[in-house]
Amino acid sequence: MVKDMFAEFKEHSIAEFFKKNRQMLGFTGKVRSLTVIVHELVTNSLDACEEAGILPEIYVEIKELGEEHYLITAKDNGPGIPENYVGKALGMMLAGTKFHRYVQQRGQQGIGASGCTMFSYITTGQPVKAISCNDGKRKEYEISIDLKKNKPVVNRISEEDTEEHGLTVISQYKDVKYEKSNKSPFEYIRRTALANPHAAITFKDPFGELSVFPRSIESNPARPLEIKPHPLGITTHDLLEFAQHQGGEYRKISAFLQETFSRLSANRVSELKGIAPDVDFEKSPKAMTWEDAEKITKAFQQVKWIAPSTDTLVPIAKQQIELSFRNIFNPELLVVTERSPKVYRGGIPFMVEVGIAYGGGVAAADKKGEIMRFANRVPLLFDTSGCAITETVKNIDWGRYNLKNFEEEPIAVLVNFISVYVPYTSAGKLAISMESDIEDEIRYAVMEAARGIQKYISGRRKATEIATKKKVVSRYVSQLASDLGSLSGKDSGKIEKKLIAMIEEKYSGPDAEGDGGDVAEEETSHESGENGEESE
């Protein structure tokens, strides 16, 4: 009986798993799947260009081959991929330069590009064509995946000399669909251009329409630095794994801890020794046992640590958000805020920046209550209801900021979450999980920007009221001057001039400008009434 139970016991590769569960990579729904493909290819291009110090120039074309059958070409001017890595980069799940690094970057798992190759192969049976211009050579390949083994199948079909550099990926997909909507590849690229003003992106849709998003700044953002993991974010298993894989470089556990983790100095090691006296910190890290690791991680929790380094986080930046919003929306009012870095889960640094655009081009584009979500400059178009950004923004009491019905107001809210590790809700990287520390920072940043909108709307409303009163009163000036002249026997013309001067003084002075003390007082009451965080 037991033998029969295990007769079908088999091992499966990660590629086979994602073939059966492609929805976990975002490939669910025909429109959504096409946008996810463009997202993965553009994200890889941006990361490659920035790491090489090259200003990105990206071209994306979607061509219709038949019903729900498209050819996608994605080309960049990055460094290209060396031949010994091209197969792994485009045709092997969980292989790449990102998963193991503790650094801010768009991709995290080494799945995206190879996921596209897999999706192309299982829907069309065709390999992906890749043209890599690297180190003076232009090499063209056909790449597919051996799903049983999670191994790339690479066939080089040409090689020639070149002075160009960059990567072109040409791939076919079926069971996908292009349509113009807020979830389309065009919208994804438009938002990517908004959050990446240093990139020049050209997009050609299946109807032949060309959209060009020129760069608005001529320099790449500062390159984020790789940092060491913080002790507060380490579990017993993590510590033991570090000791087994990296411990061979050190003779003592004490030296291993200082070199492997951030903020862990010799003084901190002495403190740990006092908290965990049963652990021999002089022995080899390779000899560390589970009990040793458990005692050390418990000791970590009792030490007062300096927060992780946060200077490795690179936001879009206030000036760049303003430039992008002006180029794309040209709003009537724009307020941008940037929160200081914080940590979550005890040891992961992150920060939040927010831009709120109101009226003007936002109204002209018929955008109402739009929430534009980003993670490390990458647009998040799907799974809106399950995202920390969406839920936090919608739960703010917008009525306090003179926006009584957020979803009907001409307003666009940009929220960019920046971190060395983004807690996505799935491998598809489409939404951010609802961590309380993250939700708090998003809320404070949005409220801070919303106060600028509230002040402007209050001032504008007051100015409108004053102008209306002035207009109403001015209607009776002539008649009043005439009546007063008749009663007093004085020149009605002089009386009219004096009345006009009085009206001008009354409705054009400091109290009539619409941004006086009453508005500031109202703003202060909102701050203290909604949360006490701003008074830290």
Residue 440 has pLDDT above 90, yes or no: yes
Rounded Cα distance between 124 and 129, Å, is 13
The arithmetic mean of pLDDT across residues 62-89, rounded, is: 93
Give 386's pLDDT tier (boundaries 50, 70, 90).
confident
The arithmetic mean of pLDDT across residues 338-365, rounded, is: 86
**pLDDT value at position 209?**
95
Q: Is the pLDDT higher at 491 or at 267?
A: 267
**pLDDT value at position 262?**
85
**pLDDT value at position 510?**
52
Of residues 438, 330, 456, 321, the one with CA closest to residue 390: 438
Of residues 460, 220, 462, 455, the one with CA closest to residue 356: 455
Residue 141 has pLDDT above 90, yes or no: yes
**pLDDT value at position 461?**
61
Give 270's pLDDT tier (boundaries 50, 70, 90).
very high
The arithmetic mean of pLDDT across residues 186-193, rounded, is: 92
Residue 182 has pLDDT above 70, yes or no: yes
In angstroms, what CA-CA distances link 491 with 343, 476, 504?
75, 17, 20
Rounded Cα distance between 411 and 431, Å, is 21
DSSP 107: -
Residue 250 has pLDDT above 50, yes or no: yes
Residue 503 has pLDDT above 70, yes or no: yes
The arithmetic mean of pLDDT across residues 130-141, rounded, is: 94
Q: Which helix (H) or strand (E) holds 374?
A: strand 370-375
> Is residue 379 within 8 Å of residue 191, measured between CB atoms?
yes
Most confidently modeled range among 66-70, 102-106, 249-253: 66-70
> Is residue 26 within 8 Å of residue 109, measured between CB atoms?
no
Q: For the whole model, what pTM was predicted?
A: 0.71
**pLDDT value at position 307?**
75
**pLDDT value at position 384?**
86
The arithmetic mean of pLDDT across residues 24-38, rounded, is: 84
Give 520's pLDDT tier (boundaries 50, 70, 90).
very low
> Percentage of the chain surpassing pLDDT 70?
83
**Residue type, position 187, single letter:** E
**pLDDT value at position 388?**
94
Rounded Cα distance between 305 and 259, Å, is 16
Residue 174 has pLDDT above 80, yes or no: yes
Domains of the chain (ranges, CATH numbers): 14-213 (3.30.565.10), 231-300 (1.10.8), 318-454 (3.30.230.10), 458-535 (no CATH)
Q: Name 376's Cβ contacts closer than 8 Å, sequence gap at least 6.
A: 104, 105, 106, 416, 417, 418, 419, 422
Rounded Cα distance between 33 and 29, Å, is 6
**pLDDT value at position 521?**
35
φ/ψ region of 225 (left if φ > 0, alpha if ψ in -120 to 50, else beta) reads beta
Residues in the chain: 536
Give 214's pLDDT tier (boundaries 50, 70, 90).
very high
The arithmetic mean of pLDDT across residues 105-118, rounded, is: 69
Residue 421 has pLDDT above 70, yes or no: yes
> Is residue 223 within 8 Å of residue 50, measured between CB atoms?
yes
**pLDDT value at position 498?**
80
> Percentage of the chain surpassing pLDDT 90?
39
**pLDDT value at position 525?**
38
10 Å Cβ neighbour count for 498? 13
Rounded Cα distance between 440 and 449, Å, is 15
**pLDDT value at position 202?**
97
Residue 453 has pLDDT above 50, yes or no: yes
Strands (E), 339-387: 342-344, 348-358, 370-375, 378-380
Helix, strand, coil % (nearest 5) of the chain? 45, 20, 35
Residue 360 has pLDDT above 70, yes or no: yes
Residue 535 has pLDDT above 60, yes or no: no
**pLDDT value at position 128?**
92
The arithmetic mean of pLDDT across residues 207-214, rounded, is: 94
The arithmetic mean of pLDDT across residues 328-350, rounded, is: 85
pLDDT digits (tens, 9 = 90+) for 40-54: 899 989 989 988 999
The arithmetic mean of pLDDT across residues 93-115, rounded, is: 59
Q: Quick one: tokens of 56?
A: 């990105």
**pLDDT value at position 458?**
78
The arithmetic mean of pLDDT across residues 13-37, rounded, is: 74
Give 208's pLDDT tier (boundaries 50, 70, 90).
very high
Give 110's pLDDT tier (boundaries 50, 70, 90).
very low
The arithmetic mean of pLDDT across residues 470-490, rounded, is: 75
**pLDDT value at position 371?**
92
Residue 9 has pLDDT above 50, yes or no: no
Residue 517 has pLDDT above 50, yes or no: no
Q: Is the pLDDT higher at 293 or at 13?
A: 293
Rounded Cα distance between 403 and 392, Å, is 16
**pLDDT value at position 532?**
41
Phi, psi of 161 (to 5 degrees): -75, 150
Buried b / exposed e across 207-222, counting CB within 10 Å, b at 16+?
Answer: eeeeeebebbbeebbe
Question: Which of 271-285, 346-360, 466-480 has the least mean pLDDT?
Answer: 466-480
> Is residue 262 within 8 Å of residue 225, measured between CB atoms?
no
> Is residue 390 within 8 Å of residue 430, measured between CB atoms?
no
Give 10's pLDDT tier (boundaries 50, 70, 90).
low
**pLDDT value at position 227?**
76
